[in-house]
Amino acid sequence: MTRAGADLALLLLAGFRTFADRGAEALARRGFDDVRPTHDFALRAIAAGADNPSELARRLTVTRQAAAKTIAVLEERRYIDRRPDPSDGRRLRLTITARGDELMRAGDAVFAELRAGWEAQVGSVRIGEAEEALRALVGDGVISVDSPDWSTRDLDS
Amino acid sequence: MTRAGADLALLLLAGFRTFADRGAEALARRGFDDVRPTHDFALRAIAAGADNPSELARRLTVTRQAAAKTIAVLEERRYIDRRPDPSDGRRLRLTITARGDELMRAGDAVFAELRAGWEAQVGSVRIGEAEEALRALVGDGVISVDSPDWSTRDLDS
DNA sequence: CTTGAAAGGCAACCATGTTGTCAATCATGA
DNA sequence: TCATGATTGACAACATGGTTGCCTTTCAAG
């Protein structure tokens, strides 16, 4: 079983994808068919206080430019607003629109459901343990899908 | 704890990334610093019998063109060879080079080590259970990092 | 043989990152 | 007070790794 390690990695990826895909589908059914994880991560980071492009870039560990592009999309799709910061002429102030809030709430609901479904399948204890093990593995590291081609880094699957 | 579901998804992603990143690093130390998961997935698919571009594309669930690009990289970096199929003038026959074999072996070793490290940390029983739970979640679905922007699909994190 | 399907390849495009550079604004210290 | 440096946001150009559409060659089957 020499591939056990690689299979495990793949399984984690598949698990994420399962969540992501099903979540996307459920959100699309609720009318949010124009968001991707990138956008959502950014939205939540903004909600969490990264209310200007530079700060957002730092939180997502991408360049300011990448953040700016994401922000442009988010604004265009009416999830956030963007306006000058009255107290600092250089800065833009990002705020979440009502639609943005709705998206986040819908996301919460959708993923809670997915988790509940999985718990029903294999037991909540087991999932709690898996979660614990994962936390031990990943440590405190920040998570970000945005990071440059993280999905294409070397992984001997 | 309304974010429990989304956090769980994120945790799976982070787990994969941890494996991928550490694996990449270890492989780079062993001299394989020019491979990414895409390439490796493809290499293994080829090893598993997808020995022509069209078949590879089907296995990876990408377009033939995307597969062709990956193949070009793999060939350029000497992980595979490419030559006409004597029995079918349309077809190219892909074969894995010695270097390709080495990469796969190194990958096996590296990931086995990573898994062992995690097991030492939280116990192999727990990991086995997590694996089982994940398999139940993902079902028999094929796994592929290559699939079109799967990482950017909607995921309310 | 014709005719359709499959293989491979090319060009153009899209999404999402990157780097480099720049102007405007702010903050600090001589 | 004001020069200097740091920070912010933006633009252009580029890299990766996908996509679609279209085309030619080769095969296979009536």
DSSP string of A47-104, one letter each residue: HTT--SHHHHHHHHTS-HHHHHHHHHHHHHTTSEEEEEETTEEEEEEEEE-HHHHHHH
Structure confidence by residue, pLDDT tens digits, A38-91: 888 899 999 999 999 999 999 988 999 999 999 999 999 999 999 999 999 999
The residue among B40, B134, B149 whose CA lies nearest residue A14 is B134
Chain B residues touching A27 at Cβ < 8 A: 154, 156
Is the pLDDT assigned to residue A155 strictly greater than 80? no
The pLDDT, as a whole number, for residue B31 is: 86
The pLDDT, as a whole number, for residue A147 is: 41
> What residue segments make up the domains of chain A, in order of their start?
19-139
Instruction: Please report which confidence band the pLDDT of residue B141 belongs to, taking 50, 70 and 90 as the band edges.
Output: low
Mean pLDDT of B110-125: 93
Among B3-17, B55-69, B109-123, B139-153, the minimum mean pLDDT is found in: B139-153
Is A19-139 a domain of CATH 3.40.50.2300? no
Flag whether residue A37 sits within 8 Å of chain B, measured between CB atoms.
yes
Structure confidence by residue, pLDDT tens digits, B50-83: 999 999 999 988 999 999 999 999 999 999 999 9
Where in B5-101 does DSSP place strands (E)? 80-85, 88-96
Q: Which residues contact B70 (CB under 8 A, 6 or more apart)?
A: B38, B39, B42, B56, B60, B146
Is the pLDDT assigned to residue B15 strictly greater than 90? no
Tokens of B57: 């594309």
- Report the distance from CA of residue B87 to the C1' of nucleotide C2 in Å, as an integer: 23
**% of chain B exceeding 90 in pLDDT:** 56
Mean pLDDT of B89-112: 93
**% of chain A exceeding 90 in pLDDT:** 57
Structure confidence by residue, pLDDT tens digits, A127-144: 999 999 999 988 765 444
Contact assessment for residue B13 and residue A132, using Cβ atoms and an 8 Å cutoff: no
- Asked if B155 and A130 come within 8 Å (Cβ–Cβ), the reply is no
Place of tokens 């250089």: A90
Instruction: Please report which confidence band the pLDDT of residue A149 belongs to, taking 50, 70 and 90 as the band edges.
Output: very low
Q: What is the mean pLDDT of chain A?
A: 85
- Asked if A156 and B108 come within 8 Å (Cβ–Cβ), the reply is yes
- Asked if A134 and B11 come within 8 Å (Cβ–Cβ), the reply is yes
Place of tokens 């990092």: B145
Tokens of B70: 């990956």
This prediction has a pTM of: 0.80
**Distance in angstroms (rounded) separating the CA atoms of residues A67 and A61:** 9
Q: Which chain B residues 78-107 have CB under 7 A to strand D?
A: 88-90
**Distance in angstroms (rounded) separating the CA atoms of residues A126 and A124:** 5
Of A13, A130, A135, the CB nearest to B145: A13
Mean pLDDT of B109-134: 93
CB count in 10 Å sphere of residue B63: 12
Got the DSSP string for B49-75?
Answer: T--SHHHHHHHHTS-HHHHHHHHHHHH
**% of chain A exceeding 70 in pLDDT:** 87
Q: Coil, strand or helix: which one is A148?
A: coil
Mean pLDDT of B16-26: 82
Instruction: Please report which confidence band the pLDDT of residue B10 belongs to, taking 50, 70 and 90 as the band edges.
Output: confident
